[in-house]
Amino acid sequence: MNRLSNKVAIVTGASSGIGRVTAKLFAAEGAKVVVGARRQAELESLVAEIKAAGGDAVAVAGDVRSEDYHKALVAAAVQNYGKLDIAFNNAGTLGEAGPSTGVSEAGFSDALAINLTASFLAAKHQIAEMVKHGGGSVVFTSTFVGYSFAFPGVAAYAASKSGLIGLTQALAAEYGPQNVRVNAILPGAVDTDMYREMNDTSDKQAFITNLHALKRVAAPEELARSVLYLASDDASFVTGTATLVDGGASITRT
Ligand SMILES: NC(=O)c1ccc[n+]([C@@H]2O[C@H](COP(=O)([O-])OP(=O)(O)OC[C@H]3O[C@@H](n4cnc5c(N)ncnc54)[C@H](OP(=O)(O)O)[C@@H]3O)[C@@H](O)[C@H]2O)c1
């Protein structure tokens, strides 16, 4: 408890899955949280849950493809809570999947826009605010796909998410002197809407489960605890990393 006392955080992709659970954990650990995604009703219910549990949060709905939306999220943090210490840039999409020879330019570009360009735009405005108050911690949600594992049919997803690792390293090097830490978390399979949409048969779920040394997929809470570590001062000397939280998928060959 209270690992994020007096901290102010932004969490994107907070309407469901990993982001929603992480926003609740941040609030339970004492952070004031600005939650973002497109689905306003889901954000409002999340804010109500956080407040009912004694925490503090505010919802700002929008689309991460818009630079103005990132300005609005940072403005909400400053106007409501006075500063910004932590950002979990987690909104993401699988994008257009299927054989790569059939993927459209628009589909590929949209995955880049949501998964990679939006993360850059978010960090651009978040870091500018963080440095005013002595630094902060930025965490991006990447994935093991395109880093330690390759699947057919997800080129746009793999390319956009692995780009986040270069972005993480570049920003960590650039803003480390101003005490901004930047890390990427690389989940294995996590039981969320995105996972269920991608793995819609028991055969696909069995295949994915078996890729992990632990022979199961993660609960979103297991990712949230790792994000909390990277966001908090427990990780005060951790920056520029690609942190695998993948149940051993990267070291499994059976
Ligand atoms: N589940 C897995 O196995 C897994 C594994 C590795 C990495 N990841 C990554 O984990 C992150 C969270 O995904 P999840 O598994 O928790 O799935 P999820 O429940 O589908 O969450 C995706 C989140 O992203 C938001 N989002 C998507 N497009 C957006 C846009 N254009 N603007 C604003 N928000 C947008 C969605 O909110 P709205 O629809 O309300 O906008 C939602 O809150 C993603 O980046 C994903 O790539 C997931």
Give the amino acid at 135: G
Do residues 73 and 43 touch, judged by C-beta distance below 8 A?
no
Any ligand 1 atom below 6 A from CB of 71? no
Query: How is residue 239 written in tokens?
Result: 């920056």
Enzyme catalytic residues = 157
Task: Provide the pLDDT for residue 191.
Answer: 98
Structure tokens at 210: 């078996």
Q: Nearest to residue 232, comparing CAs of 107, 140, 148, 137? A: 137
Task: Give the Cβ contact number of residue 87 at 10 Å.
Answer: 32
Ligand 1 site-directed mutation target among 47, 68, 140, 190, most atoms within 8 Å of CB:
190
pLDDT in tens, 123-160: 999 999 999 999 999 999 999 999 998 989 999 999 99
| pLDDT confidence of residue 68 | 98
* Residue of 15, 145, 147, 244 to test ligand 1 pocket, by largest number of atoms within 8 Å of CB: 15
Give CA 66 to chain center in angstroms: 17
Q: How do the domains of the chain map onto residue ranges?
A: 8-251
Q: Ligand 1 within 6 A of 160 CB?
A: no
Q: How far apart are CA 46 and CA 60, in angstroms?
A: 12
Give the pLDDT of residue 253.
79
Q: Is 226 in the pocket of ligand 1 (CB under 6 A)?
A: no
C-alpha–C-alpha distance, residues 74 and 47, integer Å: 17
What mean pLDDT value characterizes the chain?
97
In CATH, 8-251 is 3.20.20.70: no
Tell me the C-alpha distance between 61 and 69, whole Å: 8
What does the alpha-carbon distance between residue 117 and residue 114 come to, in Å, rounded to a whole number? 6
Residue-wise pLDDT for 61-110, tens only, equals 999 999 999 999 999 999 999 999 999 999 999 999 999 999 999 999 99
- 195-220 pLDDT, tens digit each: 999 899 999 999 999 999 999 999 99
- Determine the atom of ligand 1 nearest the C-alpha atom of 13: 43
Beta bridge partners of 61: 37
